[in-house]
Structure 1
Amino acid sequence: MDDYPVHQIAEVIRHVGTSDRNFYDRYYFNAHPGAEATADSPFLIVGLGQYPNLGVVDGFAVLRRGEDHIVFRASKALGDDRMDVSAGPLRIEVLEGLHRLRVVLEPNPEQPGLSFDLTFTADVPASLEARHFHRQLERVTFDTQRFVQTGHWRGELVVDDEAIAVTPGVWHGNRDRSWGVRPVGEAEPPGRRADAAVTAQQNFFWIYSIMQFGGFSVIVIVQEDAHGRRIVEDATRVWADRNREPEWLGRPEHELTFRPGTREVTAARLTFHRPGREALTVECEPVVPHYLGVGTGYGLEQDWRHGMWQGELIVQGLRHKVPEIEDWMKLMCPVDNLSRFTLTEEGQKYSGTGLFEVAVIGPCESYGFTGYGDTAG
């Protein structure tokens, strides 16, 4: 890339514009059988990230099928070639920028229960989301940019020696690219952040929903602090017709229903308030909850975090039974729900499927949670 006129700062391409250790550059994909999905359907999530100031690249693939939670993960030293988008047997190929990508996990002895060769083709243009910026005690903890798009999949998924044909008329999903600053790597000394007055207000309330409705997709982001104040929000409709501009849907509000004794969402209603127009609503029905953080590096396991140095090349496989995942992990874990959606707009109803990612971690006045251990009554 250094032979192209694309430099943004007075450095070579592989050197980013900040020395912040937490700079990252990541891919995320999910794949599922769309409207045909049941509680036992396979739901695949794949991620791969580079961490230039930590010298690390890592990736994962995690499949939920029935009660099985199957994890592949790999980490290696980041070399000079930033176009090498691989971690062990996991690799990503950009076949056509912003439109078509290939995601491959070669058969491997570390995780014999999972492999795939899948190609994603977008059905809407890539949509640039609202920038995510947050400070804590004067330090920038989040400064990220992301684009997202929905599409369909083609290829083959192999689970426990069973080959599953992935066909574009059935298999759907979304993918995103994000980069910037967010907490990664080995945990830093907390300093003042460990003070009880500070930790009492720390939380993570997050809704990230990507919905597919045939001729359009809907993108929703809501992050709030413990008091319900918005940190970031987005509500955008992206049309499959590339001649139509993306449409702002208004301020999104949420009503979550939790399973008693947990913070797991069993139903949700999103309402979008547009000035001078009737409110638009979306009913969400979770079908397959996927515990994204278990085994994949999102901070639950202190020995495997995104960007953590593991060695020149480490490849591992894990397997859990979902009912045996510890309650505290589920409580502290973002859940990627494969969901059905019903959108109502001016008397018209539209049915769709997609992602409803939600985390309600720590204090949350909106739902009556005062600490990390509270659950729904």
Structure 2
Amino acid sequence: MSADYTSNPLSPMDDYPIHQVAEPIRRVATSDRNFYDRYYFNCYPSTDLNLFLIIGLGQYPNLGVTDAFAVLRRGDDHIVVRGSAALGHDRSDTTVGPFRVEVLEGLQRLRVVLAPGEYDLSFDLTFDATIPATLEPRHFRRQLERVTFDTSRFVQTGTWTGKLVIDDQSRSVTPDTWRGNRDRSWGVRPVGEAEPSGRRAVDGIQNFFWIYAVMQFDHYSISVILQEDERGRRIVEEAVRIWPEPDTEPEWLGRPEHQLVFAPGTRDVTSASLTFHRPTGEIIAVTCELLLPNYIGIGTGYGLEADWRHGMWQGEHVVQGLRKRASEIEPGLRMFCPVDNLTRFHVMDNGETAVGTGLFEVAAIGPHAPYGFDNFTDTASQRGAPTKGMDR
């Protein structure tokens, strides 16, 4: 059984001088049920952009739960392994059943393991960062005076080493060709069992329009983050170039703008471009070639399944597997699903083009006036293109 939360609140982490509030480490500064602390990783072979693995592990101290997932998109395969467990007294214990995250060297090297079992996927992978960990802008949003988002996050790109096993077939993962990015985020965001909507049922659920791109090039990386409300007003934004040298400040690229093209009758994004606008008038343009969508909302806990959400109590220890064809995921579900696209990026800057790969995460859930979505069920016009331009 898990440790009794009413007993001794101390853990081994309390021996380190890292306290931020007048509480033991396992007690966070807020009693908000939605506090979370999460790892995210993605991994792909740059020589074969038909495979995209995403891994996450989170703790939810005020819900007493920890969980993890891995979702692999390979061709038309959508393979998920997920686990949930009671959160014990030691926050440094980052295991959930067969899942494990080990910090080998803080902000540099981490090991991520899904031990072999009865499921179609396992791995033992080590991430080695190629850029310094870079803190993103604080993400903050309210609804009816309640804080719904208040999070911090940092991002890194890197290489991978180890072994990946799919359907009992093992492949070596080597740092010369395997790339990816990771992030660490913590704070308040909706997690756990669904809460009663109350007045929100009258005032309306918040939309979620989101773009998060992490681009990896030979000599630098680019990170882009933006969220907009239903009118298109910015909640958070950032566009920076991150150099590998640890003492070099990230380069601000300018205000990010976006142009998304949707498949007619859906909200599936089929192509995208970004532009960064400096006050001097200089524009950096990025063409985003979306190669392979990984539907991270299907089976992993991001909110679509009523019986499996991040932070939801499943019992002392539960591990499950899920497999389906990506092409058979219902369009209605995809409308409410953030999508992590494995992407090739073409950046035009000062007359020169650089080509890189990485993540283009996008969600257009709910109303968003600039693209002509008035409610949660609107889809793109038959033209498949936005009715209004996004460069403002």
| Residue of structure 2 in register with 1:3 after alignment | 15
Partners in 2 of 1:288 and 1:332 — Cα distance? 18
Looking at structure 2, the residues matched to 178 and 355 of structure 1 have their Cα atoms a distance apart, in angstroms, of 17
- Partners of 1:134 and 1:344 lie apart in 2 by 33
Q: Which of 172, 176, 190 in structure 1 is aligned with 2:179?
A: 172
Query: Does the 8 Å CA contact 1:339/1:355 hold for their aligned counterparts?
Result: yes
Aligned counterparts of 1:243 and 1:5: Cα–Cα separation in 2: 25
Normalising to structure 2: TM-score of the pair? 0.93
Pair 1:190-2:197 in alignment: yes
Counterpart of 1:272 in structure 2: which amino acid?
A: F
Structure 2 CA distance, aligned partners of 1:89 and 1:132? 32
Deviation, 1:162, is 1.0
What 5-or-longer segments of structure 2 have no aligned partner? 1-12, 382-392
What amino acid is aligned across from residue 52 of structure 2 in structure 1? F
Q: Deviations over 1:62-116 (max 9, x none)?
A: 101111100000000000111110110010000000000000000112x2x1000
Structure 2 residue 284 is the aligned partner of structure 1 residue 280: yes
**Structure 1 equivalent of residue 248 of structure 2:** 244
Confirm or deny that 1:55 pairs with 2:59.
Answer: no
What residue number does 2:149 align with? 142
What is the one-letter code of the residue matched to 1:368? G
1:226-246, CA deviations, whole angstroms, 9 ceiling, x for partnerless residues? 110001111111101223211
Looking at structure 2, the residues matched to 71 and 198 of structure 1 have their Cα atoms a distance apart, in angstroms, of: 32
Instruction: Kindly provide the amino acid, as one letter, of the partner of residue 71 in structure 1.
Output: V
Query: Match of 2:6?
Result: none
- Alignment match, 1:374: 378
Range with greater deviation from structure 2 (168-177 or 269-278): 269-278
Structure 1 residues 265-315: Cα deviation after superposition (integer angstroms, max 9, x where no partner): 111111111111511111100000110110000010000000000000001
8 Å Cα contact 1:25-1:49 kept in structure 2: yes
Distance 1:56 1:354 in 2: 31
Letter in 2 for 1:198: G
Q: For residues 328-367 of structure 1, what are the structure 2 equivalents within 5 Å?
A: 328-367=332-371
Does structure 2 retain, via aligned residues, the 8 Å contact 1:37–1:287?
Answer: no
- The worse-fitting range, judged by mean Cα deviation, of 235-244 and 302-311 is 235-244
State which drifts further: 3-12 or 121-130: 3-12
User: For residues 373 and 164 of structure 1, what CA distance do their matches in structure 2 show?
Assistant: 42
- The share of aligned pairs that are identical, in percent, is 66
Q: Deviations over 1:341-373 (max 9, x none)?
A: 011111111110000000001111111111222
Deviation at 1:5, TM superposition (A): 1.5
Q: Following the alignment from structure 1 to structure 2, what is the Cα–Cα distance between the partners of residues 118 and 77?
A: 25
2:131 is matched with which residue? 124
Matches within 5 A, 1:281-300: 281-300=285-304
> Deviation per CA, 1:161-195, whole angstroms, max 9, x where unpaired?
11111111111000000000001101111110011
Matches within 5 A, 1:260-271: 260-271=264-275
Which residue matches 2:238?
234
* 1:371 aligned counterpart, secondary structure: coil
Indicate the residue corresponding to 1:114 in structure 2.
Answer: 121
Query: Per-residue deviation at 1:209?
Result: 0.4
Structure 2 CA distance for aligned equivalents of residues 284 and 174 of structure 1: 17
Map 1:317-332; keep pairs closer than 5 Å: 317-332=321-336
**Residues 215 and 241 in structure 1, CA contact (< 8 A), matched pair in contact too:** no
Q: How does 1:30-69 map to 2 (within 5 A)?
A: 30-34=42-46, 36-38=47-49, 41-69=50-78
One-letter amino acid matched to 1:101: L
Q: Distance in 2 between matches of 1:272 and 1:52?
A: 39
Q: Aligned residue for 2:213? A: 209
Alpha-carbon shift at residue 254 of structure 1 (Å): 0.3
Q: What code does the residue aligned with 1:23 have? A: F
- The aligned amino acid for 1:168 is P
Aligned length: 369
Aligned partners of 1:16 and 1:52 also within 8 Å:
yes
Displacement, 1:198? 2.5
Report SS of the residue matched to 1:32: strand
What is the aligned partner in structure 1 of residue 88 from structure 2?
79
Moved more, 335-344 or 262-271: 262-271
Query: Partners in 2 of 1:105 and 1:124 — Cα distance?
Result: 25
* Equivalent in the alignment of 2:389: none
Q: Distance in 2 between matches of 1:13 and 1:351?
A: 43
Cα distance in 1 for partners of 2:80, 2:252 equals 37
CA contact (8 A) 1:267 1:286 kept: yes
SS of the residue aligned with 2:304?
coil
Aligned counterpart in structure 2 of residue 310 of structure 1, from 301, 307, 314: 314
1:153, 1:171 within 8 Å by CA — same for their partners in 2?
yes
Q: Per-residue displacement from partner, 1:184-220 (whole Å, max 9, x unpaired)?
A: 101111110011x434xx3110000000011111010
Tell me which amino acid in the other structure corresponds to 1:9: V
Q: Match of 2:59, as an amino acid?
A: Q
